[in-house]
Amino acid sequence: MTARTMRIPIEDLDAMPRGCAWQGCTAHYQGDMPTGWVSLTTYWSPQPILDWKEMMRSAHVYRDAVLCPDHNRQLENLLKALR
């Protein structure tokens, strides 16, 4: 796996539409995240990271994305129950 680091000014990020990371999905939003959408961040660390700022500074963040409500439900249906 090859990773590429990109530094984008926050103003540019805020101006960009955010799209669902699900392959083939065209759902997107601009501005604040609507209810039902979720953030999806995957990372590697030898221990859980409780401070998200520390996690984002890590060199091991593989994906920082969003999922639309439909694909959030589909992902939840694939995962084991939390309890």
Domain extents for the chain? Answer: 10-78
Residue 72 CB coordination number (10 Å): 17
Residue 33 has pLDDT above 80, yes or no: yes
- What is the reported pTM? 0.73
| Residue 7 or 81, more confident | 81
Q: Residue for token digits 């926050």?
A: 10
